[in-house]
Structure 1
């Protein structure tokens, strides 16, 4: 790129020589016109670039608020389920089963909603889709704030059918960065950093509020935070996404079923399907592990809400620092495919390590040694979270780079739907594995072993797939 691209050609030597040969009338007439045109183009590019930067900054802020509001509930939910189940006469086994059912119901709703939000992005644009998403989120928290029985608790998950704020954020990042792969990877990494900033504060604050006797105040705070995001989205986000003409002239006339078929056809492409398969199966593994671990920590190791929330916050803080500092160098060093392999390997190693710590600790530790137990569990959780983050970012960077801009909304919706689909079965599998042994500590060994084995199988699957693609490319050449 040279200076002409920025409208600074008047300063170049060759330009001056040519203008001195031209007749004065022609030079005087054309020079201002050419300069004006260049300045206009430069101004338009500057305005577009400025709007893109503002959209990204507002999206980062929205994701911080979204994560804060969502994560406020995470350390509270197991205790809320326990409280409401106990009031209804449930025992420990029923509490675990109900908690798993609640997680499965939430992810079933998300599975339905994620493709719808992807279609909304293509049809009504980023701004309107974001407003709808955060308004639905606020409604969910409003119901949760007054959920005094299990029916209302399950009802609070229904509005989350459109709770896909991170999908909207990914669409904004992909739109604002255009075809620049490195910029897209960096923006996606920063988006995750924004999420983890809110997610770092959320669990610790939610646990603290729960320990001080109010299981519902965090949900009331989340209503306010979500409404703030509604206002920010309406005021600052762009009206359209990807290709404005496509969205306005074509998508509005396409039936919903055709849009769903289009998303499915994108997912079945040979260069996309293996990555989505890893996301689907890997999501199930993550769900099994994340459902089982809080139950063991609260029921067997007797963690309270603040200790559980502190561990979650530490993991999120580590991921935020990793995304902000090391994500870009790591992506350049080993590439997105290397990030996926590293993430799978890290998760496969950390799962049995967590099982060993829980087994060695058991319930036979004093109050004085409980701090050390919390530190050990938190440390392993941090490395597990870093591995999962590397896996997720590597997959999304690869998938969004394999399709055209006007297909990214449909692809991201499909990705989120598959991830939620995987988490429908995960909680049930996790609680079943725990219950298959005489106590949850022994059952967690099954959870860890299955999780590690599947992650290693996914690594092998990707290696075989990449070799097959390489051989096909070689034959074509």
Structure 2
């Protein structure tokens, strides 16, 4: 009963985090321009949140290994709510930057800690299913967030931020009352990292899981390439408008939720985490390549769905592999993984925009090539992880 209650709280928390991330997408450009900014300042403002996540997620993960998951998760959730409300109150552009940086620093405590919590309360054979539920919560948030932000933004640019912040703060009493600590006292002493240098770039290149962190970066990077240029691409190829884009992304989000919440447990039981990661990479590369050559709208939907299937399979299985093979605390490993996810979200839109300027198909070819090369380079290492998991079981 306690595990089911905790899973629900974690689901709601991650849903709110991603809905809050999505709710700003339709209104943030107008808010920045309203305050005298331009496309350059908008780009830096968008990247600033992920940049602070990149640096601080490992620290929060490390602290969750030492003091427990519950207090760190509550800090992240409360900071998330407060900073979103402050963002809605900002009246000048510099305030947006300052508050967005603060939000990235504090709210980065939420995602790696929630994943570590889920890893604590689920046995190894059910962990991918649990991670799939977390991925479903995030996917659902990215469906609801942009729709809610577009609707509320019509009545005022600041309203979506107030609503997102209020939703997070209203969740706090339930999380405080219903979310028990998942990390036992003896595990805090044994799992806490002895490495005094938690910064991801300085640790990752000699970390035993560096290939998994690199894989996380590639997944996030290619997703950002896709999301950052797809509106331009679909307009140039098929004259898509906002209505068509909204329908497509809602459908892709629904597909992601279906796979991660409904099918992931069965898929893992049949194929295993490593084979699913390999299959997800193949589907992603094929989907990106075929999207470029889609001859009609129906084929565009089908090929983007193929890519979405691949990325939906990849994320929970990579998270599971990181948690199951962590040489130290799961929190610090998942925190470093989250940092590389953030790094991909920082670099993806920048690289994608530059490539699109040269030719509209380059982001998709570059993304497909990145995934294919990653699969070839990581093939033997992934098989090694597979053998390791078999030995553990």
Q: Calculate the TM-score normalised by the size of structure 2.
A: 0.85
Q: Is the 8 A contact 1:136 1:160 kept in 2?
A: no
- Choose from 366, 372, 375 the match for 1:450: 366
Match of 1:121 in 2: 64
- The 3-state SS of whatever aligns with 2:156 is coil
Instruction: Give, in angstroms, the shift of residue 207 of structure 1.
Output: 2.5
**Structure 2 unmatched runs, 5+:** 389-393
Q: Does 1:311 align with 2:255?
A: no
Q: Return closer, same or farther for 1:153/1:328 CA change in 2, 3 Å cut-off.
A: same
Question: Per-residue deviation at 1:124?
Answer: 2.7
In the other structure, the counterpart of 2:278 is 341
What is the distance in 2 between the residues matched to 1:215 and 1:305?
Answer: 18
Q: Residue 188 of structure 2: which of 247, 264, 268 is its match?
A: 247
1:321 paired to 2:244: no
- Aligned residue in 1 for 2:20: 69
C-alpha distance in 1 between matches for 2:200 and 2:92: 41
- How far did residue 408 of structure 1 move? 0.4
Which secondary structure state, in structure 1, belongs to the residue aligned with residue 196 of structure 2?
helix
Matched, 1:175 2:120: yes
Instruction: Say whether 1:235 aligns with 2:177.
Output: yes
Matched, 1:383 2:306: yes
In 1, Cα distance between the equivalents of 2:190 and 2:233? Answer: 53
CA distance in 2, matches of 1:102, 1:225: 23
Match of 2:89 in 1: 146
CA drift at 1:466: 4.4
Structure 1's unaligned 5+ residue stretches are: 1-49, 362-372, 438-442, 473-477
How far apart are the structure 2 equivalents of 1:427 and 1:266? 23
2:148 is the alignment partner of 1:205: yes
Q: Give me the TM-score of the superposition, normalised by structure 1.
A: 0.71
Q: Give the corresponding residue for 1:194.
A: 137
Mapping of residues 237-316 of structure 1, within 5 Å: 237-239=179-181, 241-247=182-188, 258=196, 260=198, 268-270=206-208, 272-296=209-233, 307-316=244-253
- Identify the residue that residue 5 of structure 1 maps to in structure 2: none
**Mapped pair 1:133 → 2:56:** no
Q: Give the Cα–Cα distance (whole angstroms) in 1 for the partners of residues 383 and 126 of structure 2.
A: 28
Residue in structure 1 matched with residue 391 of structure 2 by the alignment: none
Query: Are the structure 2 counterparts of residues 152 and 288 from structure 1 closer, same or farther at C-alpha, using a change threshold of 3 Å?
Result: farther
The structure number with the bigger radius of gyration is 1
Q: Secondary structure at 2:89's aligned position in 1?
A: coil
Contact 2:204 2:213 in 1 (8 A): no
Pairing 1:413–2:335 present = yes
CA RMSD of aligned residues (A): 3.3
Say if 1:184 and 1:148 are closer, same or farther in 2 by CA, change over 3 A: same
Worse-superposed segment, 123-132 or 285-294: 285-294
State the secondary structure of the residue aligned to 1:145.
helix
Q: Which residue of 2 aligns with 1:51?
A: 2
Give, in whole Å, the separation in 2 of the partners of 1:84 and 1:261. 36
SS at match of 1:75: coil
Q: How does 1:460-471 map to 2 (within 5 A)?
A: 460-466=376-382
Deviation at 1:113, TM superposition (A): 1.5
Distance 1:107 1:294, change over 3 A: farther
Provide, for residues 382-403 of structure 1, a one-character-per-residue CA deviation record: whole Å limited to 9, x for no partner. Answer: 3322211111122112121113
Q: 1:428 to 1:382 in 2, by over 3 A?
A: same
CA deviations 1:401-458 (Å, max 9, x no partner) are 1136x610111111101211233222221121122x3xxxxx3201111111111101
Distance in 2 of aligned mates of 1:322 and 1:468: 26
Residue 181 to residue 238, structure 1, CA distance change in 2 (3 Å): same
* Whole-angstrom CA distance in 2 between matches of 1:213 and 1:108: 30
Alignment check: 8 A CA contact 1:279 1:418 kept? yes
Aligned length: 387
Q: Is the 8 A contact 1:263 1:410 kept in 2?
A: no
Deviation by residue 1:327-384 (Cα, 9 ceiling, x = unmatched): 1121122211121122212221222333334xx78xxxxxxxxxxx5x7655544332
Partner of 1:330 in structure 2?
A: 267
Whole-Å separation in 2 of the counterparts to 1:283 and 1:60? 21
* Aligned counterparts of 1:401 and 1:249: Cα–Cα separation in 2: 16
CA distance in 2, matches of 1:303, 1:157: 31
| 3-state SS of 2:326 partner | coil
